[in-house]
Amino acid sequence: MPRLYDSCKRILVTGGAGFLGSHLVDRLLKQGHEVLCVDNLFTGTKRNIEHLHGHARFEFMRHDVTFPLFVEVDEIYNLACPASPIHYQHDPVQTTKTSVHGAINMLGLAKRLKCRILQASTSEVYGDPAVHPQTEDYWGHVNPIGPRSCYDEGKRCAETLFFDYHHQLGLEIKVARIFNTYGPRMHPADGRVVSNFIVQALKNAPITLYGDGEQTRSFCYVDDLIDGLIRLMDSPAAFTGPVNLGNPGEFTMRELADLVLAETGSASPIVTLPLPQDDPRQRQPDISLAKARLGWAPRIALREGLKPTADYFRTLLAGNVAAEGGRSRKRRAKIDSFRLIAESTGRANLALSHGESELKRQK
Ligand SMILES: NC(=O)c1ccc[n+]([C@@H]2O[C@H](COP(=O)([O-])OP(=O)(O)OC[C@H]3O[C@@H](n4cnc5c(N)ncnc54)[C@H](O)[C@@H]3O)[C@@H](O)[C@H]2O)c1
């Protein structure tokens, strides 16, 4: 619902050029706020915010949150952090720094400004859960020294910092534990299962299932998730979370592959590969708390959300064939290093992103 002009705020969104961040920025602008988008463009891209170029209430600042930031805002959404295994394993030390130093810097800013701050945490704090579905009081089952630890433990430490700032200094905090979310503007090379399957299907390349394909995930459409984040930020001060935000509908990877094939009309075969290390068998949110405290529940079914997502990737793939040829050497090196990580973590096929396969074609 649009806000009244006199309730317009100046809002900082870190990671605002990323997948979720750019949708959040759009929604906040639509509500009439001013938005400062801060991003170092590690996994985010200017393409996600280019439609906002020249918007009177939008400002972009290229900045790394591991360094202190001095700005004046009324509210902070802290989303900056690479979110997919391929990206966060690219530089694990930087990933932990982004979560931990980034949280310290943004909390320090919120403390100085006496403003409310929301942390985009993750279902990964539950690790490979022994409890199913996961409720917020479950402490998790996390490997502290595995390939996913930089992300999982970084996010756990960030949550700790948020609650310590709250208890020790009275800061108004909100912590959202986000479960798998998908939609337009996902990175085509991020190796996340939805983007991976859709890109493979659109290219009629084999759809790669890990293990027996019977492991399950739940998928939340981006519009629903953004709605949940904003409701959480606007909730009474006493409600800090952590609160699960996700879609409890559970699908096996095989079911997802079938839905993607149906949506794209692709002739891709399905092939199986070994399960990567520490890959959770099951992940499903219990969203009772979000329902009770935020009046929130996802509304968009997977079948429905796959359509705009596939349309996005169709357009992206069509447009990028030319663009990839003009990539800089640095950009090619980055794509190559994502490929190396993918290979070393048993996800070789995941690196067959659009960008990389185009590069190969052009060689
Ligand atoms: N998408 C999901 O399914 C999901 C699930 C759980 C949690 N999350 C969390 O939501 C947030 C956004 O995820 P996303 O899916 O949009 O990922 P994304 O990679 O598209 O967005 C992250 C953004 O953060 C920026 N960034 C990374 N490191 C930074 C740094 N040091 N300084 C400034 N900017 C930096 C990136 O350039 C990118 O724009 C992340 O914190 C992620 O952990 C996402």
Q: Are 290 and 243 in contact (CB under 8 A)?
A: yes
Top mean pLDDT of 189-198, 319-328, 351-360 is at 189-198
- Assess whether the C-beta atom of 193 lies below 6 angstroms from ligand 1: no
pTM, rounded to two decimals? 0.88
Quote the ligand 1 centre to 300 CA distance (angstroms): 22
The string of pLDDT tens digits covering residues 272-288 is: 998 876 676 777 899 99
Domain segments of the chain: what residues? 10-185+219-247+283-299, 326-362
pLDDT at 325: 40
CA-proximal residue: ligand 1, atom 32 (nearest): 64
Alpha-carbon separation of residue 210 from 137, 270, 339 (angstroms): 30, 10, 17
Q: Is 194 in the pocket of ligand 1 (CB under 6 A)?
A: no
The number of the ligand 1 atom at minimal distance from the alpha carbon of 22 is 16
How does pLDDT run across 82-106, given as a tens digit for each residue? Answer: 999 999 999 999 999 999 999 999 9
User: CATH for 10-185+219-247+283-299?
Assistant: 3.40.50.720
Token pair of 271 as six digits: 């092939």
Whole-Å CA distances, 51 to 25, 33, 55, 320, 361:
11, 17, 8, 17, 30
42 within ligand 1 shell (Cβ under 6 A): yes
pLDDT, greater one: 131 or 245: 245
**Parallel, antiparallel, or unpaired: how do β-strands 216-218 and 250-252 relate?**
antiparallel
Q: Which of 81, 195, 331 has most ligand 1 atoms within 8 Å of its beta carbon, as the pocket-test mutant?
A: 81
Q: Which residues carry out catalysis?
A: 151
Whether residue 224 has its Cβ less than 6 Å from ligand 1: no
pLDDT at 362 over 70: no
Atom of ligand 1 nearest to the CA of 18: 39
CB of residue 229 inside a 6 A radius of ligand 1: no
Distance 78 CA to ligand 1 centre (A): 9
pLDDT tens for each residue of 141-197: 999 999 999 999 999 999 999 999 999 999 999 999 999 999 999 998 888 899 999
